[in-house]
Amino acid sequence: MNFQTAEELLNLCKEHGLPISKVMLEREKTIGHMSEEDILKALMHSYDIMKNAIKSSLTEDLTSMGGLIGGEAKKIYKRKEDSACGSLVSKAISYAMGVLEVNTSMGLIVAAPTAGSSGVIPGVFIAIQEERGFSDDKMLEALLNAGAVGYLITRNATVSGAEGGCQAEIGSASAMAASAVVELLGGTPAQCLDAASTALANILGLVCDPVGGLVEAPCQNRNGMGASNALISAEITLAGIKHLVPFDETVEAMYKVGRSIPFELRETALGGLAATKTACQRCGKCD
């Protein structure tokens, strides 16, 4: 069982009466020549790393290698009871930002799909698991769903900030998380991909402009934004609001937009926020 486009994925779901997660599991068994037990074991290992990264960000004093971030996740988390966003979104934001602190302090993270966007999926998944009481087994299904979306974007476009801007990194992570949340909450495969399309479309054109060339700022805040975008996109879709453009076409549009973004705004730190006077002063590398 294999697929290369979202259309093919949806056809397989319909033909076999399976959710995206199960189709992806069958694909991994076929393509990877692995048993279901080994696949789920590997996914659990990754999910444990995600959990541990969040725990570290909330219990340890972390400082990034570049010195631009550190401690932000704790500040957001402390506000969860009085949050303007509500408990779920507040947790998702703080967890997502925390994973970036672990990443930039040379801790262990899962690059899902990239190190620069590594906070989005853990932030969303662990927050919704805590709030809704989902089992780890259900969260592994969510990872499989997210993996299917990430695979489609990687195969047909890019998840690289250097190639497609931050829309390709945070946008892809957000799309992956949005799709998975829809499946967790009982949505159909078509709704999953609608949510993924919405998440991508919401931040189409987002540039990659890391201060000092470091994956710290504004990357950390954008992980928080990506987590909230995933939940917003899932909510829009579960309310019965369809995305106008199919996922395959949305991915193609994202790729074309990314290729059109000037190179100064694709992870070179030569434009955007990275080129401002204050940013140059902070990083100490600019003339």
Contacts of 51 (CB under 8 A, 6+ apart): 122, 126
**pLDDT tens digit sequence for 52-65:** 999 999 999 999 99
pTM score over 0.85: yes
Cis peptide before 113 (omega within 30 of 0): yes
State the pLDDT confidence band at 4, using cuts at 50, 70 and 90: very high
**pLDDT tens digit sequence for 91-114:** 999 999 999 999 999 999 999 999
pLDDT at 280 over 60: yes
First to last CA, the chain: 55
pLDDT value, residue 94: 98
Question: What residue type is assigned to position 214 of the chain?
Answer: L
Task: State the average pLDDT for the chain.
Answer: 97
**pLDDT tens digit sequence for 27-48:** 999 999 999 999 999 999 999 9
Q: 262 in helix, strand or coil?
A: coil
Instruction: Enumerate the β-bridge partners of residue 266.
Output: 208
